[in-house]
Structure 1
Amino acid sequence: MIDEATLDRAVTAGILNAGQREALMALASQNTDPASRSDDTATMSVDDQMRLVGGGNDIFVTVGIVLLFSGALFALQAVLPSNSMMLAGLLAAASWGVAEIVTRQKRMRLSSTLLALAFIASALALLSDFIGTRFSLPDTINAFSLLALRGDAIPIGLTLGGGVIAAATLYFVRFKVPVLAAIVAIASTGLAFLAAMLVLYDQMVSGSIAAPAPDQLAEVLSSALIVPLLCGAVIFAVAVFLDMHDRERQTVWSDCAFWLHVVSAPLLVHPLFILATGQDVLAGRIEPGMGASILLGVMIAVFVLVALAIDRRSLLAPTLAYFGSVGIYYLVNGAANSTGIPPFALILVTIGAIVILFGAGWQRIRRLIIRPLLPTSLLNRLPPIKA
């Protein structure tokens, strides 16, 4: 069997490209003897093949990385001045250096993810220290101090968000770690939200629109949810695009799509929940009426169908977790004041049944629902349905 180092040399020599290397590694990791595979493995969703953990040795090395960097952090904090930019710089360099072995040579997946996050955290600390020094930020940040920073808002936002995107892109080009796709998506969403808030603020200052009265703040905040909703839709579209160009989920781009689905789900679900049910985001009222509960049920059904079609439980899991956590919060806080069955209890029952049912037979459900529901032309572009 050809080892990973040999495949890496083949890529460097131009014998293989990166996609072919990933496909060969995925093929080698699969058991080619059909008789030795269980029914569960034969019908496994391609979403379950998201390559996150590379085995026991990967976990072992991950523990070593945590211990190494924790010890280094405490040691450097004792030697270097407090809030030193050198500390973040050293940790970023160490993350990169260890990744040259763990990621580039050994291709350890969980360890690589941890190192990538450590690098981004170090880069974020560096950018934060630079912003604090360059723009003389006040010690305490509140609404009034933020308004006073309006003139520097754009360079601060571009430095922080753009710097994180640049660092993640540079690291991805070198090491191809999929979780960085989520980092780029989150930073881009933050920049979009900042731009929308600055436009709204400038319109109020110029008199183009009136400042909202106190009783209108809830409506304004609900309207502001359009921004993360649009960002979630864009991120979801990018993830689907990557999925449709890698139907068998054999390359690193499908793993990037996994993380993009994880990010897009809450960005889509929370705004849709607030806008569809008319919840008061200031008062914190989360109990929908019967009509809104029915609408929530329809929303869950739509998300379920979409997740089944694209074969991504990574989209469905945050969705169900969000609805479930909101429902549990309501039930705990409303149990003492209610003697009847709250409408949201029905949603919780539905979510619990869906989780158990789908966990036991995801591919069978895909085959029964999606195959007769969608035309063949679309099915041929979606992840294959296992027989």
Structure 2
Amino acid sequence: MYSESDIDGAVAAGAISPDAAMALRRYVATAQAAPAVDEEHFRLLTGFNDIFVSIALVLLLTAVGQIGFQITHALGGAFVAAASWPLALYFTARRRMALPSILLLLSFVGGVAGALAGGIETAFPHIDERAGALAVSAVGIVAAGAAWLHWRRFMVPITVAAGAAATVAVAIGLLMAVIPDVKQGVWPLLLIGGLGVFALAMRWDMSDVRRETRRSDVAFWLHLAAAPMIAHPIFQMLGVFNGEIGGGTAALVLILYVLFGALALAVDRRALLVSSLVYVLYALYSLIRSAGAIELGAAFTALVIGSALLTLSAFWQPMRRSIVGALSQPLRLRLPPVQQPA
């Protein structure tokens, strides 16, 4: 399977003309009876060889990390980062393999962060809470810098999301270091960070509303990073998993999920629905159990939610057309198009 960024790269390399690329997109959209933007393409696998190489990379990097870790904790991460960069020069820059590129990005950024964290742990084994928060911020800054360096060289779409997540960790860590009592409000802080990442994702999305370039792939991963930062704090603050929830809380969870669905339809991204799915499943399960269906509560919950999600998928286009049609004209122009292909 080829992603939009692959087609865009082929056009840039002169392999196909822009008109041929547009004709290909129109053909695929017509064959699927849906606009290409609604398919939310992203490249994860270019073939089974991606899985084969990824398994080998995991084995190799795990072994390298363990060898370094036996010497000192910092060397474990340093060895992983040092091995990931030359591997990325081949598998990412030269072979352009999707899944191995993602793994090598994560191993490089994680290795750099792990090396610094291991060094701090070795140098300051009895670090206090405030200094620990500053150390977390320092690790986050270095991780964000590593992600930026990797992006400048390899431009793997998930890199921007990794850097954004590291930046949120830095901000929260600095606040906890400056104001120790702020740790009591970590969920609202994480929610604010998630909203910031979501805004960044929308900026990338709005720069390519037809989703024909690498920017769409970057936006996809940003949405995937922002969704749990938004959904998890909201439902945690509602106390969804703090024992049995009442009917009012369960109903509020369902209402929030409907609102998330409307937002997902408007921006044509499904990540928020997936991230909050476990909470709505638990809320509906609690409602069904409170109604007396104890033995079949799980089955009824799966039946209702599964049917609802399949219906949403089948009627995504007309439902999205209704949602977007209710928005103002300037806002509609900044969202992916809803019209059917000719």
TM range (shorter): 0.7 to 0.9
Distance 1:322 1:97 in 2: 41
Question: Which of the pair has more CA radius of gyration?
Answer: 1
| Shift of residue 25, structure 1, vs aligned partner | 9.6
**One-letter code aligned to 1:300:** Y
**Other-structure match for 2:275:** 318
| Shift of residue 251, structure 1, vs aligned partner | 2.4
More displaced, 190-199 or 67-76? 67-76
| Shift of residue 159, structure 1, vs aligned partner | 2.3
- The alpha-carbon distance between structure 1 residues 349 and 267, as it changes in their structure 2 partners (threshold 3 A), is farther
- The alpha-carbon distance between structure 1 residues 51 and 286, as it changes in their structure 2 partners (threshold 3 A), is same
Task: Give TM-score scaled by structure 1 length.
Answer: 0.72
Distance 1:84 1:181 in 2: 27
- The alpha-carbon distance between structure 1 residues 363 and 79, as it changes in their structure 2 partners (threshold 3 A), is closer
**Other-structure match for 1:340:** 292
User: Are 1:160 and 2:139 matched, yes or no?
Assistant: yes
Distance 1:47 1:93 in 2: 39
**Other-structure match for 1:269:** 231
Segments of structure 2 that go 5 or more residues without pairing to the other structure are none
Superposed CA offset, 1:262-288 (max 9, x none): 12212212222244x4x287xx22513
**Other-structure match for 1:55:** 46
- The alpha-carbon distance between structure 1 residues 202 and 314, as it changes in their structure 2 partners (threshold 3 A), is closer
**Other-structure match for 2:259:** 302
| Shift of residue 318, structure 1, vs aligned partner | 1.4
Q: Determine if contact 2:51/2:99 at 8 Å carries over to the other structure.
A: yes
| Shift of residue 233, structure 1, vs aligned partner | 1.0
**One-letter code aligned to 2:81:** A
Distance 2:172 2:122 in 1: 24
Which of 107, 113, 117 is the matching residue for 1:124?
113
- The alpha-carbon distance between structure 1 residues 149 and 294, as it changes in their structure 2 partners (threshold 3 A), is closer
Percent of matched pairs sharing the same residue:
29
- The alpha-carbon distance between structure 1 residues 90 and 157, as it changes in their structure 2 partners (threshold 3 A), is closer
Distance 1:184 1:371 in 2: 31
Distance 2:15 2:38 in 1: 16
Distance 2:58 2:212 in 1: 32
- The alpha-carbon distance between structure 1 residues 163 and 326, as it changes in their structure 2 partners (threshold 3 A), is farther
Distance 1:28 1:322 in 2: 45
**Other-structure match for 1:292:** 249
User: Are 1:380 and 2:342 matched, yes or no?
Assistant: no
**One-letter code aligned to 1:112:** S
Which of 85, 90, 101 is the matching residue for 2:79?
90
- The alpha-carbon distance between structure 1 residues 181 and 23, as it changes in their structure 2 partners (threshold 3 A), is farther
Structure 2 SS opposite 1:169: helix
Distance 1:296 1:27 in 2: 47
Which of 189, 197, 206 is the matching residue for 2:176?
197
More displaced, 266-275 or 170-179? 266-275
**One-letter code aligned to 2:171:** A
Structure 1 SS opposite 2:71: coil
Q: Determine if contact 1:43/1:363 at 8 Å carries over to the other structure.
A: yes
**One-letter code aligned to 1:181:** V
User: Are 1:362 and 2:316 matched, yes or no?
Assistant: yes
- The alpha-carbon distance between structure 1 residues 76 and 103, as it changes in their structure 2 partners (threshold 3 A), is closer
User: Are 1:236 and 2:198 matched, yes or no?
Assistant: yes
Superposed CA offset, 1:96-154 (max 9, x none): 112112222232222211211121222122112211223x224xxxxxxx6x342x335
Distance 1:287 1:244 in 2: 39
Q: Determine if contact 1:286/1:326 at 8 Å carries over to the other structure.
A: no
**One-letter code aligned to 1:374:** L
Q: Determine if contact 1:112/1:177 at 8 Å carries over to the other structure.
A: yes
For these two proteins, the number of residue pairs brought into alignment is: 332
User: Are 1:74 and 2:56 matched, yes or no?
Assistant: no
Q: Determine if contact 2:266/2:323 at 8 Å carries over to the other structure.
A: yes
Distance 2:204 2:196 in 1: 13
- The alpha-carbon distance between structure 1 residues 280 and 385, as it changes in their structure 2 partners (threshold 3 A), is closer
User: Are 1:225 and 2:176 matched, yes or no?
Assistant: no
Segments of structure 1 that go 5 or more residues without pairing to the other structure are 11-15, 139-145, 204-219
- The alpha-carbon distance between structure 1 residues 288 and 181, as it changes in their structure 2 partners (threshold 3 A), is farther
Structure 2 SS opposite 1:32: helix
| Shift of residue 163, structure 1, vs aligned partner | 1.0
- The alpha-carbon distance between structure 1 residues 297 and 339, as it changes in their structure 2 partners (threshold 3 A), is closer
Which of 155, 163, 188 is the matching residue for 1:176?
155
Structure 2 SS opposite 1:225: helix
Superposed CA offset, 1:198-254 (max 9, x none): 344269xxxxxxxxxxxxxxxx94x44211111111111111111111101122222
Task: Give TM-score scaled by structure 2 length.
Answer: 0.80
